[in-house]
């Protein structure tokens, strides 16, 4: 009898253990919510009252988020490595409640120009990094020092880049048998380059609108909607945390998976996502990621995942199974990047300042290198910083690879940078010949340098081909850099430039 | 003693609840099968007898299907929103049995020209929409009013489109030092355009064949195999339900996932799938869809999924978590589409009739717009219908986004339509110049308008580039419309057309 | 009382069954490990001692592997169809222990030139097929007869292919206003073609290195890192099993999923992965593979999966649900391939020998066909072998499709081969005209045949376009062969070659 009971109990224990193991991904959240079950603030309750009807999916999505289950006070209880907030303290009224609608959308009402009276509250539409910084100040500060936060200004405040943007977006029309062109309307830029770089979101007016529940006043925004990384928000801050942590689930799983980065990093100008997909890292990710844990903080190499995603190499806090830190979390993503592979024209050391619109080369152009390739060194990190960043990056590689393996890899990458820069110099020299011979109009004729056909061939040489080869080499997705969009196209492009020159020089 | 029992029982109950929750995706089907367990018909039992040996995977696949577990009578028991059949009643012999081999492959033997005597039954190879309509008449009727059902005729019965098809598929050969061309053999069209548009499936002959189990007679079909959306079946019906609901699993999960649509909608001519993949919708889908429920009917926004797939916006019955209908199911997919983004040459309001081969513009060409862009309005939906469809589409957007957000989005899309149409007009005017100047032979020389190099450049202007930009704008996968295949290519293409013109005009 | 016990026991049994069913993917390994729990060898224990600290992810990854849980003796206990090893016997010291670090990295120390003294053992860096063959001799032998094992020599020992490689990788530079070119440095080839084809890995030196645990000596390898399919290893063997079974998880799931193949088979030269993704097979895989079992041996069609991956058609041992063999496992992958779709210039029967560098056509060129398309038959398989291989392939198709369906498919593929070869002949004839007319320098001028612009157009005709059309046809991912990179491009390319010829002939 006794032994039968024991047998039953033993079986039960086994079953419970098995069940708990299999329910792992759900367990974390379930347990936490049971443990803390913090209150929803009165203000957020009011928001939810209407919005569960009006925008049901926003509410449902938020309910899947960690924000809906945990308070700042609860988040603070974790040990330092596991903590997801970087503030030490928040205001008392925020500390004990879950992070709901009101906790973000009513912060700093005076600094947000899109603040409007809504249901008795001062609500703003566009939650900005300044709002997020209440709980995540370190991430906000790091990100503000990241080129991505400056992506709007880095594009539109650089006369050359703006002219490249215009050459892509302008509209052709025919007048008296001649093709002319006008700059695109603002909406076009917003629907093109600024979709990724970020728009300038401004309040055009406050407008009374008839809704199902009566007349209401809303701010009408220009540059909206937008989730660009360098969006200029109505409170003047730069960037959008929701680019990578899309609202209102704010899922770390989303941010850690490569699809998030693909939104802006898969075109021929910056094909990181496509290269990753063809690399051994990407192959293993695709085949096995359903076995991995994308929620754990810190993220343990080998235990939580067995091949890196974009976030693993460039952002996340990584530890070994025995708890040693492999790399610190950084939202200043070039902390682990010594070189810029896809800057204008030539590869070069990373810029010192996240605001790259301040750069001027010796020829007076707003470029990080001369047109012949020499770096504009005073604006770029020095050798020592370069080596330190390379060391940080290599320490991530070495969690899985031997030192010789890693060194061999970087020898090749450096060779690739050198050879693609050499090829780009040749293309540039061909362009100079074209301008000299009058095959195209260049700076001397006060004409743009990105608009005519041979100029376009020159642009794609570095913006698409040299670029893609470098990414393919850097991330070992080598096939991409051969026939997809790489060495084949690079060497062919020289032949096409020669052909155009030859034809017109006859 | 008592309390020990109670403890055990309590633990058991907990375990059972946990187990049931974790087994959710399998539970639905399991429970249903237990609940109804309808019989397999005698005829289907006979089919299975041999085919479990001869085509084991077909049988195994069918066993994974809802068809194998539920009868029409069982399907009727669901409430209206959850019902997956739209017929009110079917013949008695079909009502109480599962939907097996015989239930579909022996329907209407006289109307199917591919009916043949097989194992004592009159069996047909190609199950057609008319067969499916026994249980799903509303879906069949809607689909028949969908342009996709007419995709075969819309291509081959339009002289211009057929000429475009020929210019793509024809075969070049060399004769006396000159390149000539002949139309491709029929097999080539079937292996090219008609793979998606659908072939005409006809019985060539009935042939005696030696098999492992003796001599048997089978119909030999032309145009077979094919799963094109507008396939002409041996019973004269148009379309193939199996294009999106592939046999013999007929899984709603497959139809709702975006891969299904990718089969025909990812090329540069209609890159919806690629654009979706780069959009925030696609990013969230890729990162999180393993948490979602793709089997639920109705499909609840926020509960079953948190970002839309193709089906969510264009086809599925959607409800809010509180049970309100967001959008009705429609297999006439342009019910929620006001404009055609990838019709020939210019964007325009959706055609009134699913049969677009009836359209003639004022110049007498079978096109929905003039060559200068004005819509052939009498064949296209009017402003009122346009607005109604836009409202339907917006109501889907608004399940997750605010009204201002949605409006801002469509302002941009309309700008994009206008600007890309303007650019296409410029390309068209350059082509007219080419014809005038004799750089290429056009309609006046009774030559095709799609075959020569500058004509090809013109075609790709609207068929690839303007097109892709519009999709990128419509689905917020904006990066695709810049460098992948978009604005960069569009403006460059004008330069290339100018270059060709200039060269030959010298 | 009795009945209460019975009820409890019954419930327990149900729960256990349910739990076991839901835990299926993990069950196999769990059960096996419990069943056998073989020892870890003393030598491997020593390796792990340090490497759990030094390369934690390598150890963690290995722990996920079957190698870490099972011994050769345990693997032998399976019945013939389920067995994953093909040796009958291994040395006594290997038989009873798990396959750990030392079991592979210390085998045959004398034949591995990269063997070095390390922690009291003779360790080599690069585990080669000869090492794997201890347990998997049949797979190693088959693979050595696979063209992939010879991929290094097949490229660099063929003067024509090497010249194509040079034309892609060489570096342009400007000298006295003229564009010149030099061959790329060796690192470039390794970072380009040889990344897939395999490098020649050689020991450059043994070097003393300062490490965290004192001074150590390591071999410094050239051509490293590399996972190319035809890598020449320091022991002289060809190939790398880890290309498809990446270390140190050696997961059959990874090898069976299509991402593995994508690493080298997705560019325009061999777009199998992209075509697969757009095919119905690929669509179903993408939508449903989370329901499938990628670990089972043998792999049962319909039970373990319902649509094939690359491995299913080309490599894996497949059975029907009733246990009949559909296809035998073969690592000589062309056992099921009658024709080569992407050989140089024209399609043709598979070569007899895996070493294709021995092939010479009648014109003396190292090509499997004449430049006019006739096969170099003495080096290619004969009609009988062709038909036998086609029959093997068709038997895989027929596990899911009827004979008429399969036949119809192959009629189309044969048509496609014929028509694309015809188009390629036309392109070749245009190239011959270009050489005759002096538009480009060819063999008569002792110039390369792959470097000038019109030659590049000729190369892309067969290497990208004809090629892609054939793959699209072969794998029913037809859309890829129309607008992505197919018939549209093929016919346009003839127009572009004509244009170049016309311009220079004026």
| CA closest to B290 among chain A residues | A290
**pLDDT, tens digit, 9 for 90 and up, residues C372-410:** 999 999 999 999 999 999 999 999 999 999 999 999 999
Across C204-215, average pLDDT: 90
Task: Say if the Cβ atoms of B409 and A195 lie within 8 Å.
Answer: no
Q: Kindly determine whether residue C267 and residue A8, on different chains, have CB atoms separated by under 8 Å.
A: no
Q: Which residues of A touch B425 (CB under 8 A)?
A: 173-174
Tell whether the model's pLDDT for residue A2 goes beyond 90.
Answer: no
Closest residue on chain C to A322 (Cα): C53
State the DSSP H helix or E strand holding residue C34, giving kind and residue range, or none if neither.
helix C24-36
Q: How far is C124 from chain A (nearest CA, A)?
A: 13
Q: Would the CB atoms of C218 and A288 count as touching at under 8 Å? A: no
| Nearest-by-Cβ selection for C283 from B262, B456, B503 | B262
Q: pLDDT digits over A334-390, tens only?
A: 999 999 998 789 999 999 999 999 999 999 999 999 999 999 999 999 999 999 999
- Above 90 in pLDDT, residue A23? no
In this complex, which chains have at least 3 CB pairs below 8 Å with chain A?
A: B, C
Specify the higher pLDDT residue, C13 or C44. Answer: C44
- In this model, does residue C434 exceed pLDDT 70? yes
Residue-wise over B199-208: b if at least 16 C-beta within 10 A, else e?
Answer: bbbbbeeeee
Residue-wise DSSP of A415-481: HHHHHHHHHHHHHHHHHHHHHHTTSS--GGGT--SSSSHHHHHHHHIIIIIIHHHHHHHHTT-GGGG
Residue C177's CB: how many other CB atoms inside 10 A? 9
Residue in chain A closest to B502 (alpha carbons) equals: A504
Q: Tell me: the pLDDT tens digits for C22-59? A: 444 433 343 344 445 899 999 999 999 999 988 889 99
Q: What is the DSSP letter of A326?
A: E
Disruptive mutation site among B3, B5, B18, B56 for chain C (greatest number of C CBs within 10 Å): B56
- Residue C469 dihedral angles phi and psi, to the nearest 5°: -60, -40
How close does chain C come to B289, measured CA to CA in Å?
10
Q: Do B453 and C404 touch (CB under 8 A)?
A: no
Tell me which chain A residue has its CA closest to the CA of residue C8: A8
Q: Which residues in chain A are contacts of C211 at CB distance < 8 A?
A: 403
For the segment A389-394, the average pLDDT, to the nearest whole number, is 96
**What gap in Å lies between CA C14 and CA B166, rounded to an integer?**
64
Q: Strand, coil or helix: what is A329? A: coil
Which of B60, B173, B251 lies closest to C321 in CB terms? Answer: B60
Per the CB < 8 A criterion, the answer to whether A470 and A338 are in contact is no
Size of chain A, expressed as the number of residues it contains: 506
Contact between B145 and B133 (Cβ < 8 Å): no
Q: Do B473 and A191 touch (CB under 8 A)?
A: yes
What percent of chain A has pLDDT above 90?
Answer: 87
Please give the pLDDT value at position C16.
56
Residue among A283, A303, A422 whose CB faces C262 most closely: A283
Tell me which residue in C12, C303, C479 faces B267 most closely, judged by beta carbons. C479
Residue in chain A nearest C175 by alpha carbon: A426
Mean pLDDT of chain A: 92
Residues from chain C contacting residue B183 (CB–CB below 8 Å): none
CB-CB under 8 Å, A55 with B400: yes
**pLDDT digit string, tens, across residues C289-335:** 999 999 999 999 999 999 999 999 999 999 999 899 999 999 999 99
- In chain B, residues with a C-beta closer than 8 Å to the C-beta of A246 are 280, 283-284
Q: Where are the alpha helices (DSSP H) in B23-76?
A: 24-36, 42-54, 56-63, 72-76
Binary contact (C57, A412; C-beta < 8 A): no
- Whole-number pLDDT of residue A11: 57
With b for 16 or more beta-carbon neighbours within 10 A and e for fewer, the C343-358 pattern comes to bbbbbbbbbbebbbbe
The predicted structure's pLDDT at residue A185: 85
Name the closest residue on chain C to residue A282, using Cα atoms.
C259
| H-type alpha helices, C184-337 | 186-190, 193-197, 252-256, 258-262, 272-278, 280-288, 310-314
Give the residue from chain C lying closest to A495, CA to CA: C453
Residues with Cβ within 8 Å of C388's Cβ and at least 6 positions away in sequence, in order, are: none
Give Cβ neighbours of residue C179 (< 8 Å, ≥ 6 apart): A426, A430, A494, A498, C172, C173
Interface contact flag, C412 B452, Cβ < 8 Å: no
Which of B56, B220, B263 is the closest to C321 by Cβ? B56
Q: What is the mean pLDDT of residues C159-181?
A: 94
Q: What is the pLDDT of residues B342-377, one digit of tens each?
A: 878 999 999 999 999 999 999 999 999 999 999 999
Cβ distance A190 to B484 less than 8 Å, yes or no, reads no
- Residue A98 pLDDT exceeds 50: yes
Give, for all 506 residues of chain B, the pLDDT tens digit: 555 556 565 656 556 555 544 444 433 343 344 445 899 999 999 999 999 988 889 999 999 999 999 999 999 999 999 999 999 999 999 999 999 999 999 999 999 999 999 999 999 999 999 999 999 999 999 999 999 999 999 999 999 999 999 999 999 999 999 999 999 888 899 999 999 999 999 999 999 998 888 899 999 999 999 999 999 999 999 999 999 999 999 999 999 999 999 999 999 999 999 999 999 999 999 999 999 999 999 999 999 999 999 999 999 999 999 899 999 999 999 999 999 998 789 999 999 999 999 999 999 999 999 999 999 999 999 999 999 999 999 999 999 999 999 999 999 999 999 999 999 999 999 999 999 999 999 989 999 999 999 999 999 999 999 999 999 999 999 999 999 999 999 999 999 999 999 877 65
- Beta-carbon count within 10 A of A363 CB: 10
Helix (H) or strand (E) holding A325: strand A325-327
pLDDT for residue C9: 57
Record the tokens describing residue A402, joined without a space.
């031997």
DSSP code of C184?
P
For A80-189, strand residue ranges (E) read: 115-118, 121-124, 171-175, 178-182
CB pairs under 8 A between B and C: 181
For the segment C168-175, the average pLDDT, to the nearest whole number, is 94
Which chain C residue has the Cα nearest residue A489?
C168
Angle between helices C56-63 and C42-54 (to 10 degrees): 130
Q: Which whole number is the average pLDDT over A310-317? A: 97
| pLDDT score recorded for residue B504 | 72
Residues 6+ apart with CB under 8 A from A150: A230, A238, A354, A355, A356, A357
pTM of the model: 0.93
Residues in chain A closer than 8 A to C58 (CB atoms):
400
pLDDT over 60 (residue C158)? yes
Residue C20: pLDDT above 80?
Answer: no
Residue of C nearest to B1 (CA): C1
Give the gap in angstroms from C-alpha B268 to the nearest C-alpha of chain A. Answer: 14
Q: Give the percent of chain C with pLDDT over 70.
A: 92
C-alpha B212/C-alpha B206 separation (Å) is 19
Q: How far apart are CA C281 and CA C273, in angstroms?
A: 11
**Distance from the A322 Cα atom to the nearest Cα atom in chain B, whole angstroms:** 28
CA B299 distance to own-chain centroid: 19
Q: What percent of chain A has pLDDT over 70?
A: 92
Please check the confidence at residue A301 and state whether its pLDDT lies above 50.
Answer: yes
Segments of C312-456 assigned E as strands: 318-319, 325-327, 339-340, 348-349
In this complex, do A401 and C55 lie within 8 Å of one another by their Cβ atoms?
Answer: yes
Chain A residues lying within 8 Å of B439, measured CB to CB: none
Chains in touch with B (3+ beta-carbon pairs under 8 Å) read A, C
How far is Cα C466 from Cα C369, in angstroms, rounded to an integer? 15
Residue C251 with chain A: CB contacts under 8 Å: 287-288
CB contact under 8 A, C220 and A8: no
The whole-angstrom distance between A115's CA and the closest CA on chain B is 15
Beta carbons of C179 and A425 less than 8 Å apart: no
Q: Which of B284, B486, B492 sits opposite A456 (nearest CB)?
A: B492
CB-count burial class (<10 Å; 0-12, 13-18, 19+) for B42: exposed
């Amino acid at each position: 009898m006794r032994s039968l009971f024991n047998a039953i109990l033993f079986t039960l224990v086994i079953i419970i253990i098995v069940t708990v193991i299999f329910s792992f991904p759900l367990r974390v959240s379930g347990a936490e919510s049971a443990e803390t079950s913090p209150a929803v603030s009165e203000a957020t309750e009011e928001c939810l009252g209407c919005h569960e009807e009006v925008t049901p999916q926003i509410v449902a999505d938020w309910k899947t988020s960690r924000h809906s289950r945990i308070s700042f006070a609860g988040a603070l209880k974790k040990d330092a490595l596991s903590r997801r907030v970087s503030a030490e303290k928040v205001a008392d009224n925020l500390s004990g409640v879950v992070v709901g609608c009101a906790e973000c959308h009513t912060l700093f009402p005076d600094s947000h120009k899109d603040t409007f009276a809504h249901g008795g509250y001062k609500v703003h539409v566009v939650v900005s990094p300044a709002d997020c910084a209440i709980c995540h100040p370190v991430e906000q500060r790091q990100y503000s020092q990241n080129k991505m936060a400056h992506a709007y200004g880095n594009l539109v405040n650089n006369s050359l880049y703006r002219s490249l943007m215009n050459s892509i977006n302008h509209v052709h029309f025919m007048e008296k048998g001649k093709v002319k062109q006008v700059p695109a309307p603002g909406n076009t830029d917003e629907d093109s380059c600024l979709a990724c770089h970020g728009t300038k979101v401004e309040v055009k007016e406050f407008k009374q609108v008839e809704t199902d529940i009566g007349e209401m006043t809303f701010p009408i925004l220009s540059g909206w909607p937008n989730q660009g990384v360098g969006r200029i928000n109505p409170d003047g801050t730069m960037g959008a945390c929701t680019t990578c942590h899309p609202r209102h689930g704010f899922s770390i799983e989303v941010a850690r998976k490569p699809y998030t980065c693909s939104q802006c990093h898969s075109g021929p100008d910056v094909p990181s996502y496509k290269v990753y997909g063809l690399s051994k890292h990407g192959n293993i990710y695709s085949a096995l990621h359903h076995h991995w844990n994308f929620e754990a903080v810190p993220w343990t190499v080998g235990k939580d995942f067995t091949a890196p995603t974009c976030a693993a190499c460039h952002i996340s806090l990584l530890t070994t199974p025995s708890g040693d830190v492999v790399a610190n979390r950084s939202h200043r993503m070039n902390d682990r990047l010594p070189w810029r592979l896809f800057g204008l024209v030539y590869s070069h050391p990373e810029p010192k300042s996240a605001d790259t619109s301040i750069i001027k080369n010796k020829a007076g152009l707003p470029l990080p290198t001369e047109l012949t390739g020499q770096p504009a060194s005073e604006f770029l990190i020095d050798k020592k910083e370069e080596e330190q960043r390379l060391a940080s990056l290599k320490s991530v590689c070495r969690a899985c690879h031997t030192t010789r393996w890693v060194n061999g890899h970087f020898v090749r990458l450096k060779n690739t940078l050198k050879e693609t820069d050499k090829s780009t110099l040749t293309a540039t020299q061909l362009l100079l010949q074209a301008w000299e011979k009058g095959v195209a109009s260049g700076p001397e004729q006060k004409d743009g340098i990105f608009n005519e056909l041979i100029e376009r061939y020159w642009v794609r040489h570095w913006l698409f081909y040299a670029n893609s080869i470098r990414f393919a080499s850097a991330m070992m997705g080598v096939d991409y850099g051969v026939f997809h969009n790489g060495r084949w196209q690079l060497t062919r492009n020289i032949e096409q430039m020669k052909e155009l020159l030859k034809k017109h020089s006859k």
